[in-house]
Amino acid sequence: MNPMRLQKIMRRELDTLRREGLITATKYAELEAQYPLHKWDFAALGRWFGVFGAISVAAGLFILGSKLFALTLENLAIALSLFIPLCFYLAFRFGHKGLTWTKRSLELLGAFAVIGLTFTLGLIFSSGSGNWPALLLIDLLILLPLAYFLRNALLLILTVIVFFTWFGGVTGYVSGWGAYFFGMNYPMRFLFAGLLMIGMAMIHRQAETDRLRSYEGFFKVWLSGGVFFSEMALWLMSLFGNYGSIFSRYLESAAELLLFNAIWVGFNVALLVIGARLQLRMLRGYAITFFLIQAYTLYFWRVARHLGPVFAMFVAGAATLALVVYFERQRREHKSIAASA
C-alpha cells in the first residue's frame, strides 16, 4: 500500500478512537506524531487539477464550437446532448482502468454540460417569465442523485454551489426582487438553511460509520457548505441587520447589530468546541478565519474612521504582523513537540 495512503488511514482511525474516548489526548498526540502528513498530497493536487481541467475543457470546446459552427441555441443544445453521454462513457472507461481522478473530472465536465443544456433549453422554450431558478432546481434533482450514484465528491460540491444559487435566486424571484441572491436579502433565511445543512451533515457523518460507509467524507461537503452559508449570513447581519431590500434598507439599531455580532461570536466559539471534541480541523479553521474577519470588519467599520487613514492602516498592519508571528511560533512549537515525541 502507498505509504501516504497508509498514514491517512491510520490518522482516520486515531481520530475515531479519540472521538469515542478510547484513548487520551496525550496518547492521541503521541500516536499522531508517528504518522505525519507533511509531504505533498498528490490526491488533493489531482482533484484540483481535475476541477481546473474540466472547466478549461468546457470553455475551450465552447469557444472552438463557436468558431467552427454557426452558434445557434438549437445547435448548442444538440452538441451538449451528444457531449454529456460521451463524458460519462469516457468516465466509465477510465474508471475501469483505475484512473480515478480522470474519471471524476470527466463526470464533473458532464455535470457542467448538464447545467449548460438546461439553460440552453430554457432559452429555447422560454415563456418570458424569467424564472431562471426553476432551471437550477432541475439541475439539483439531476446532480444530487448522480453525485451519490457515482460516489463523486466533486459532483456533490457542485451540487451545493447550485443549491446556494438556486436558494438565493428562488427566494428573490418569488419576492419580486429578481436576480438579487448575492445581496442575500433577509440573510436570516440563509442562516436557517446553513444550520439545517450542518445538522444534516452531522447525521450523515454518523451514518458513514455504518450504512453510508461507501460515502466516507461526503459529510464534509455538506458541513463545509452549511458552515459557509451560516458564516456569510452572520457576517452580513453583523453589518446591516436582517434587512429586506438592497435598494432601500431601513436603519438598523445598535442593539440589533450588537445582538448579531454576539450571535456570530457564539457560533464560532461553538465551532471551536465541536471541532476540538470531534477532531474536525475544518471547523476550527472556519472559526479562527471568521473570528479574524469579524475583528477586522468591526475595526474598519467602526474604529478606523476615527483614527485617520495613516494611523488606522498602521494599526491594521501591526496587528496582521503580530498574527503572523503568533501562528509561526505555534507551528514551530507543534513541529518540535512532534519531533521529540
3-state SS record for 208-224: CCCCCHHHCCHHHHHHH
Q: What is the mean pLDDT of residues 202-211?
A: 88
Instruction: Report which listed range, 91-105, 117-131, 133-147, is most confident.
Output: 133-147
CB 168 within 8 A of CB 182: yes
How far apart are the C-alpha atoms of 118 and 115, rounded to whole Å?
5
Q: Which long-range contacts (CB under 8 A, 24 or more apart) does 126-130 make?
A: 130/173, 130/178
Predicted pLDDT of residue 130: 74
pLDDT-derived band at 172 (thresholds 50, 70, 90) equals: low
Residue 321 or 204, more confident: 204
| Identity of residue 183 | G
How far apart are the C-alpha atoms of 45 and 150, rounded to whole Å?
21
pLDDT-derived band at 255 (thresholds 50, 70, 90) equals: confident
Q: Look at residue 179 and tell me whether its pLDDT is greater than 50.
A: no
- The whole-model pTM stands at 0.71
Predicted pLDDT of residue 52: 65
| Grid cell listed for 58 | 468546457
Q: Which long-range contacts (CB under 8 A, 24 or more apart) does 151-154 make?
A: 151/214, 151/215, 152/104, 152/107, 152/108, 153/104, 153/217, 153/218, 153/221, 154/47, 154/50, 154/51, 154/104, 154/105, 154/107, 154/108
Residue 267's CB is within 10 A of a number of other CB atoms, namely 20
Q: Look at residue 87 and tell me whether its pLDDT is greater than 50.
A: yes
Predicted pLDDT of residue 180: 46
Predicted pLDDT of residue 58: 66
Residue 40 or 222, more confident: 222
Helix or strand or coil: residue 1?
coil
| 4-38 residue pLDDT tens | 556 666 667 777 766 666 677 777 777 766 656 54
User: DSSP alpha helices (H): ranges in the chain?
Assistant: 3-19, 25-33, 42-68, 73-96, 100-124, 133-150, 153-174, 188-207, 218-240, 254-278, 281-298, 304-307, 309-340
Predicted pLDDT of residue 73: 83
For the chain, the average pLDDT equals 78
Considering only CA atoms, which of 40, 150, 159, 161 is closest in space to residue 100?
A: 150
| 217-240 residue pLDDT tens | 899 999 999 999 999 889 888 887
Ranges 6-10, 179-183, 188-192, 205-209: which has the least confidence: 179-183
Predicted pLDDT of residue 181: 46
